[in-house]
Amino acid sequence: MAIKLGDHAPDFTAESTAGTITFHSWLGDSWGILFSHPKDYTPVCTTELGTVARLKPEFESRNVKVAGLSVDSVEDHHGWSKDIEETQGTALNFPLIADPDRTVSDLYEMIHPNADNTLTVRSVFVIGPDKRVKLTLTYPASTGRNFDEILRVIDSLQLTADKGLATPANWTAGKDVIIAPSISDADARERFGEFNAVKPYLRYTKAPS
Ligand code: BEZ
């Protein structure tokens, strides 16, 4: 059965470019991103992993640990990482999990047989410090993901977790946010100060700094 939002993120132990990882203890109290790519030594994947490596300081500043995964071996991951550094200008600086026996791919349903019977699709799981799944995304092999969007979602998820706030369509960090319907006007005033009630159910307030 597919992993759904709010589900407990399955734990596993696997080999990676950073050694053996037991997922939950590796995450510790951090947020986490587990993302799969179809195959080593392929063009779109090369650009994706270079992009994630470049964005590492952005993930770190949000207390997010990132791990990639494919069904290739650790040896292949290490060999390919030289190409990533050469072509993308950034060395791999996060663990790339090797899943040749598909243990993790099956746990997280990263193989979609009607798309490809053997390779993982481009799955993304964002996992909260409570080890619950907060976001899932699935992209086809031919479309590289927008990791700026994943950072944007993390910002929104953390506003919800920390402040009980939601974010409107096309929101980006710094823009006004939405007060969750579960919060009363009186409670909202106490927690956020002034707010703009366009409708009783549509209340904007300044994003907390
Ligand atoms: C790629 O990363 O370029 C790719 C991988 C598998 C299928 C298609 C494209």
Contact by Cβ (8 Å): 147, 163: no
Q: Which of the following is catalytic: 45, 52, 126, 159?
A: 45
Evaluate: CB of 42 within 6 angstroms of ligand 1.
yes
Q: Is the CB of 138 under 6 A from ligand 1?
A: no
Q: Which of 36, 45, 119 to mutate to test the pocket of ligand 1 (most atoms within 8 A of CB)?
A: 45
CATH assignment of 162-205? 3.30.1020.10
- In the chain, residues under CATH classification 3.40.30.10 are 13-145
Confidence (pLDDT) at 127: 98
Give the CA radius of gyration of the chain: 19
Neighbours of 29 (CB within 10 A): 7
Token digits of residue 185: 């006007």
* Separation CA 100–CA 185 (nearest Å): 53
pLDDT tens figures, 75-115: 999 999 999 999 999 999 999 999 999 999 999 999 999 99
Q: In this predicted structure, what is the pLDDT of residue 171?
A: 98
Share of the chain above pLDDT 70, in %: 100
Taking only the tens place, the pLDDT of each residue in 118-139 is 999 999 999 999 999 999 999 9
Ligand 1 closest atom vs CA 46: 2
Report the pLDDT value the prediction gives residue 26, as an integer from 0 to 100: 98
Instruction: Round to whole Å and give the CA distance between 49 and 93.
Output: 10
Task: Decide: 139 in ligand 1 pocket, CB within 6 A.
Answer: no
For residue 140, how far is its CA from the centre of ligand 1 (angstroms)? Answer: 9
Tokens of 44: 């779109």
Q: Is 45 annotated in the active site?
A: yes
Measured N-to-C along each axis, helices 43-54 and 147-163 cross at an angle, to the nearest 10 degrees, of: 40
Q: How far apart are CA 144 and CA 28, in angstroms?
A: 29
> What is the distance in A from the centroid of ligand 1 to the CA of 109?
18
d(CA 173, CA 153): 10
pLDDT at 1 over 80: no
147-163 mean pLDDT = 97
* pLDDT tens per residue across span 180-189: 999 999 999 9
Indicate where the chain has its CATH 3.30.1020.10 domain(s): 162-205
Cβ of residue 142 lying under 6 Å from some atom of ligand 1: yes
Give kind and range of the element (H or E) at residue 165: strand 165-166
Please state, in angstroms and rounded to a whole number, the distance separating the CA atoms of residues 84 and 46: 6
The reported pLDDT for the residue numbered 209 is: 80
| Tens of pLDDT, residues 7-55 | 999 999 999 999 999 999 999 999 999 999 999 999 999 999 999 999 9
Residue 172 has pLDDT above 90, yes or no: yes
| Rounded mean pLDDT, 56-73 | 98
CA 121 – ligand 1 centroid, Å:
9
What is the structure's pLDDT at 182? 92
Give the HSE-up count for residue 193: Cα atoms under 13 Å, Cβ half-sphere: 4
| pTM greater than 0.75 (yes/no) | yes
**Alpha carbon of 143 to ligand 1 centroid (Å):** 8
When pLDDT is cut at 50, 70 and 90, the band that residue 116 belongs to is: very high
Architecture in CATH for domain 13-145: 3-Layer(aba) Sandwich (3.40)
Average pLDDT over residues 154-163: 96
Q: Among the atoms of ligand 1, which is closest to the Cα of residue 45?
A: 2
